[in-house]
A = this chain, B = another copy of it.
Amino acid sequence: MSIPIAAASSTAAVLTSLFVVLLAAKLGDELFRRMRQPTIVGEILAGLLIGPAVLGLVEPDEVLEVFAELGVVFLLFWVGLETRLSDLREVGPTAVSVGVLGVAIPFAGGIGLGLALGESTGTTLFLASALVATSVGITSAVLIDLGVLERRTSRTILGAAIVDDILALLLVAVAAGVAAEGGVDIGSIAITAAVALAFVAFVALGGTQILQRRPSLLHAPRFSESPLLPAVIICLGLAAFAAQIGLAAIIGAFLAGMVIAETRDQSPIEDEVAPLYAFFPPFFFAVIGLQVSLETLADGGTLALLAAVTVLAVLTKFAGAYLGAWRMGRRDATFVGVGMVPRGEVGIIVAGIGNATGTIDGELFAVLVAMSVLTTLIVPPVLRRLAVEDEEPALA
């Protein structure tokens, strides 16, 4: 039964890094919970502490990135299980305007900044795309933590995130096209858009109908075990398909959860998914912290650029989403605006693609990563305060 020498060293290394990351995330979570601060901030800072930025105990690698990806996949699957299609329909028009304006204004801001800095067209487009990205994973976790997932504002953020993702997909495709070939293939962009829209519409509408008519697909009487594995397989399948067509995997996971929630009783599935939802997401938050490198930032000019990019990222996204949610009233629009601000892993990924293709240099890459993490750290305490204010109207 022994796993010796060569295999042992790699098994030992992988298990050790999973152990260290999970332990650190749990301690960060626990510490921030006791300090009555948002727990995901504790998990991200724990990742930052053990990662290359500070202690260097763990380097981000492929395995950790897969666990992080499954973390946000199961997070959004969970959110989907808590969401009904009718909830999204209700907030539909507002969510679309939040999504569209929440993309347009940061994108314009990014273009303006790129031009002001005298960057090339390709770099400017990547910079603008990184400013557009929204990480609904971060906001979802905070909404779950605060117990406000069922509010209209929360539904609007989720709906807007889908619109946001489809638009961001198209922008990054344009940016990558310009960077690689200096031009844009309008035909292929149009096909990408059509496939993405068709996928979302087909799964949300068709999938819901299929499972409403044949819930036995999940609860087949002769399935001797729980519906967990069928549900997880649907989640992974739709997440993989979404990623294959260029959307975020979490859009597929969210839709999978929402479709499954339409079967009569999703509660046993929720109970069974809960441990997966406890196990994987800490990797997602800690790995965001692991990506930060402080070395490149130890320069006055770079810090000034970081401040400018971060302020621009926060203000433009807030303004766009706030305007989009205008009809909900000042207070709700503020909540939605703040909820759309975190860039999380998505800003990091867009910056990483720009860096890998040579369009984004090392300095700008470090700035965009730090901006993504900063916007992610700023939002949870603010959302928490806004949610509490909403519950105590006398104080508002």
Interface residues in chain A, defined as those with a beta carbon under 8 Å from any beta carbon in chain B: 1-8, 11-12, 14-16, 18-19, 22-23, 26, 30, 33-34, 62-63, 66, 69-70, 73, 133-136, 161, 164-165, 168-169, 172-173, 176, 222-226, 228-230, 232-233, 236-237, 239-240, 243-244, 246-251, 272-276, 278-279, 282, 346, 349-350, 352-353, 356-357
Apart from A1-B136, A228-B278, 13 more pairs, CB < 8 Å: A1-B165, A2-B165, A2-B169, A2-B248, A4-B350, A15-B73, A19-B236, A19-B237, A34-B222, A228-B279, A229-B278, A229-B279, A272-B275
Question: What is the CA–CA distance of A176 and B350 in the complex, to the nearest angstrom?
Answer: 45
The verdict on A1 contacting B250 (CB below 8 Å), with A33-B224, A244-B16, A353-B7 known, is yes
How many copies make up the complex?
A: 2
The verdict on A2 contacting B168 (CB below 8 Å), with A16-B244, A66-B14, A352-B7 known, is yes
- Measured CB to CB, the closest approach of chain B to A273, in angstroms, equals 7
Q: What B residues does A33 contact at CB under 8 A?
A: 224
Q: Judge whether A12 and B248 touch: CB under 8 Å.
A: no
Q: What B residues does A349 contact at CB under 8 A?
A: 3-4, 7
Q: What B residues does A251 contact at CB under 8 A?
A: 1
Question: What is the CA–CA distance of A110 and B63 in the complex, to the nearest angstrom?
Answer: 36
Name A340's closest neighbour in chain B (CB-CB).
B1
Question: What is the CA–CA distance of A322 and B1 in the complex, to the nearest angstrom?
Answer: 18
In the A-B complex, the 5 residue pairs with the smallest Cβ-Cβ separation, listed nearest first, are A12-B243, A15-B240, A4-B172, A2-B168, A1-B165
Question: What is the CA–CA distance of A274 and B30 in the complex, to the nearest angstrom?
Answer: 24
Q: Judge whether A23 and B237 touch: CB under 8 Å.
A: yes
Q: Among B133, B243, B274, B278, which residue has its beta carbon within 8 angstroms of that of A15?
A: B243
Question: What is the CA–CA distance of A278 and B274 in the complex, to the nearest angstrom?
Answer: 13
Q: What B residues does A249 contact at CB under 8 A?
A: 3, 11-12, 15
- Measured CB to CB, the closest approach of chain B to A3, in angstroms, equals 5
Q: What B residues does A22 contact at CB under 8 A?
A: 229, 232-233, 236
Q: Judge whether B346 and A14 touch: CB under 8 Å.
A: no
The verdict on A240 contacting B2 (CB below 8 Å), with A26-B230, A229-B26, A278-B225 known, is no
Q: What B residues does A224 contact at CB under 8 A?
A: 33
Question: What is the CA–CA distance of A70 and B18 in the complex, to the nearest angstrom?
Answer: 10
- Measured CB to CB, the closest approach of chain B to A222, in angstroms, equals 7
- Measured CB to CB, the closest approach of chain B to A203, in angstroms, equals 15
Question: What is the CA–CA distance of A23 and B3 in the complex, to the nearest angstrom?
Answer: 28
Q: Judge whether B246 and A2 touch: CB under 8 Å.
A: yes
Q: Among B8, B15, B248, which residue has its beta carbon within 8 angstroms of that of A236?
A: B15
Q: List 17 A-B contacts (CB under 8 A).
A: A1-B168, A1-B251, A2-B350, A3-B243, A5-B246, A6-B352, A6-B353, A11-B243, A12-B249, A18-B70, A18-B236, A22-B236, A63-B66, A66-B66, A229-B279, A276-B276, A276-B279
